[in-house]
Amino acid sequence: MGNNRENETEIDLLQLAKALWHKAWAIVLVTLITAAMAFAGTKLFITPLYTASAMMYVNNSSISVGSTQVNLSDLTAAQSLVETYMVILKTRGTLEEVIKEANLPYDYEQLSGMIEAGAVNSTEVFSISVTSASPEEAEKIANTIAELLPNRIADIVEGSSVRIVDYAVVPSKKTSPSLSKNTMLGAMLGFVLSCGVFTVLYLLDDVVHNEDYVRVTFDLPLLAVVPDLTEKNSKSNYYYYRDDSKSGKEETA
């Protein structure tokens, strides 16, 4: 137990705060540098992406899924059907039809990764969102899916009815990356890393820099202080040389 206590290191938060405050200029500098790097990296090396969305409606009527009769008006749930339609949308057959119709330079896996779909606010309306580096391409793919999907679903789900609520339009603003968000994240990363480095250096520093540290940390009286003879113009320097030209004397105190 005694050895464990001897090995424990107490952290004086006030002294740590003072140490970080003395390095505030370096912390601010590192923060600004990492923020600038994040800004430049986002601006120069990350391709902006655009998202176009079309909206479709699941008709509220009785339909058959396999051998099961489903009455949509009794479900909280055209949502269960919406989920079914999402699966159909992402199937290889549907997407290869979209690729052929829109003459796209993608394979099934690439196009599937560009598409997201889901119910809108737990309603019978669902959205189809397509993300691409080209805003015109995103709009073209979303509208092609919206036009082909009703027939594709009708071929699979008997009695289904899906209608287009809203066609996609060419997006005017990019959806990613966020320049401000990435810059802020870069600044936060630089701030945290610099504070962490200076904190570690403070904890590893076992040098007693002044007599106040001994008084505050160990609560011990000081019997003597060794002056710093290398420090110039310091009040703690007890040795000095004076040339008295008038008297011709040299004194050493």
Q: Which residues contact 32 (CB under 8 A, 6 or more apart)?
A: 187, 190
In the 3-class helix/strand/coil scheme, how is 95-107 assigned residue by residue?
HHHHHHHHCCCCC
CB 227 within 8 Å of CB 48: no
First to last CA, the chain: 51
CB 237 within 8 Å of CB 227: yes
Question: Block means of pLDDT (10 residues each) for the chain, length 253 residues?
Answer: 48 81 93 96 93 86 52 54 86 94 93 91 86 95 94 82 91 92 96 94 76 66 68 52 49 45
Q: Which residue has the tokens 């570690």?
A: 200
**Residue-wise burial string across 179-204, b where 16 or more C-beta atoms lie within 10 A, e elsewhere:** eeebbeebbebbbeebbeebeeebee
User: Helices 13-22 and 24-45, interaxial angle, to 10°?
Assistant: 60
57-90 confidence digits (pLDDT tens): 887 555 555 555 555 454 455 567 788 888 899 9
